[in-house]
Amino acid sequence: MKNFADKKHGGIEESLNSAKAYRDNIIRENPAISRKEFCRKLRQHNTSGIPGVYRYAKRYTLKNGVEKAHWYWEAQWPGEKPGSFEKQTFSILQYGEDKARELAIDARRKGVSRLKGVFWASERPQYA
């Protein structure tokens, strides 16, 4: 953050113009990225090698105390509103390991292909 004091910059108008020029330069040097581009980045915690696709287990305990787990491949992608997301889950029991993974990858690809606009955190407000 930078301060543009009126006295230092020759008055209110000059100070405002300097601040706007500084802001415009920052925006020019750091363009907004598309939502699709953001979704292609592999995150640090990813273990599947495919952004937005992961394998997990829904664990539960039977009345007799035996613990069980159903394994799934899941695809996630951003929703229409900032902070929201959509997902599809594919049972490994139902489809098998490879097919469930393939279906999750395809669901993710289709979900991301429908995204429009820029990544919400890089949206630029409209200034005068």
Tokens of 96: 């098998």
CB atoms closer than 10 angstroms to residue 73: 27
φ/ψ of 87, rounded to 5, equals -155, 160
- The conformation of residue 73, written as its DSSP 8-state character, comes to E
**What is the Rg, in whole angstroms, of the alpha carbon atoms belonging to the chain?**
23
Query: According to the model, what pLDDT value does residue 40 have?
Result: 84
pTM above 0.85, yes or no: no
Confidence of residue 123 (pLDDT cuts 50, 70, 90): low
The end-to-end CA distance of the chain, in Å, is: 19
Residue 115 has pLDDT above 70, yes or no: yes
Closest CA relative to residue 15, chosen from 2, 25, 29: 2
Separation of alpha carbons 51 and 69, rounded Å: 24
